[in-house]
Amino acid sequence: MAIATKTVTDACASAKDAARALATASAATKDAALLRLADLLGERADEVLSANALDLADDRAARLSDALRDRLALTPERIEAMADGVREIVALPDPVGEELERRTIQDGLDLRKLRVPLGVVAVIYEARPNVTVDCAALCLKSGNAIVLRGSSYAERSNAALAGLVREAVREAGLPEGAVELLAGDRTELEQLATAEGLVELVIPRGGEGLKEALKAVATVPVMYAAGGNCHVYVHGEADLEMARRIAFNAKVDRPGVCNAAETLIVDAAVADDFLPGALADLAEAGVELVGDERAREAAGDVAVGAATDADWDTEYHGMKMAVGVVDSLDDAVEHVNRHTTGHTEAIVTGDPAAAERFTDAVDAAVVFVNASTRYTDGYVFGMGAEIGNSTQKLHARGPIGLRELTTTKYVVHGDGQVRG
């Protein structure tokens, strides 16, 4: 599959033209394109896997950590999951044209507030090729064109997947420019972020470095699907066996993804009982542990290094975890709010009042009670897929699905009224 060579301006202009057609496309036409995409993912999985194998064999990929290589790798099961996600999106109601409000205003005018597409959405993402399909499918269903800018590590995988999306779009009678893929150097980031008049929204999926780079130059609105420095807090009233399972899953299940836990916080009242076993589980799984002085004292025979100030603010993307001990729920909330990226936080407790206090006070897009942080996911939340998890508060927060990719328009009908 050839890799796109269009300039940023050409790709964005092509997407802008396509966005006009998509904005008025019927739900049936958009769904037909998506259903064809799901079928192509099954029919041509071998092509995608071959492209992915070349990416994994590349010298650049060889320098990645095991966790990041896992994010890059595709399998038949992961491709099947992509297709399932696309079909889930098809099954969701089309948000375009949804009436949010209707009322009669001055002089009998009929006012309606409707959902409409944004236009052109640019998504900048790192190693995960499945993002190509997830983001394209969500944008198509919500009537938006998309400009994809993936990682150079995954350029062959992304090109193969984007090619299937464009083929499905073309077969449905929609313009191929609805999905544009860029493959080039980092200068593209600044060009995308300053493409006023061509791009309505930029969504970066990546770490704090990407976020800060865009903040420095962006003139186009940016919705940050930023990194996840996620915490699990074990309250003094927690079921410790439950807490042990949750902490292990939150860290070990897929340590390279943004909803993996990076920090474990434990109430001092249960630290001596909880930490030796929980940390032994993590260490046996290969997790490098660092902690504050009290966590190290309560760790028993488990080796725990000394945590630095930087550890509390680090998204490791791998098998490392910071561990701290606090004296109270308020101390836990204060620690979380000081270090969180606003992605996902969790408390394990048997006390409903403590759970309510934590969920009310913690400033994050998603807060779990007695469940792993790994559940923050658009697919799990019933969105079919997600473009990312927004860690800001305007215009959307949490998993970015179909409705988060729309804006609103007021349509007002009269019968000759003039304002006097």
* pLDDT digit string, tens, across residues 260-305: 999 999 999 999 999 999 999 999 999 999 999 999 999 999 999 9
Domain positions in the chain: 8-225+387-413, 230-375
What phi, psi does 231 have (nearest 5°)? Answer: -120, 150
Mean pLDDT of 138-143: 98
CA–CA separation, 208 and 315 (whole Å): 9
Q: Tell me what pLDDT residue 184 has.
A: 65
Q: Tell me what pLDDT residue 2 has.
A: 44
pLDDT at 1 over 50: no
Mean pLDDT of 211-237: 91
Mean pLDDT of 29-50: 98
Which one is predicted more confidently, 195 or 384?
195
Q: Tell me what pLDDT residue 131 has.
A: 92
Q: Tell me what pLDDT residue 349 has.
A: 98
User: What single-letter amino acid sits at 393?
Assistant: K
The CATH number of the domain covering residues in 8-225+387-413: 3.40.605.10
Mean pLDDT of 376-392: 88
Helix pair 155-171, 45-57: axis angle to 10 deg: 160
Mean pLDDT of 5-11: 90
| Mean pLDDT, the chain, whole residue set | 94
Q: Tell me what pLDDT residue 226 has.
A: 67
CATH topology of domain 230-375: Aldehyde Dehydrogenase; Chain A, domain 2 (3.40.309)
CATH fold match for the domains 8-225+387-413 and 230-375: no
Q: Tell me what pLDDT residue 5 has.
A: 67
268 burial type by CB count under 10 A (0-12 exposed, 13-18 middle, 19+ buried): middle
CA–CA separation, 149 and 132 (whole Å): 9
Q: Following CA atoms 163, 164, 165, 171 in sequence, which dihedral angle do they give, to the nearest 10 degrees?
A: 110
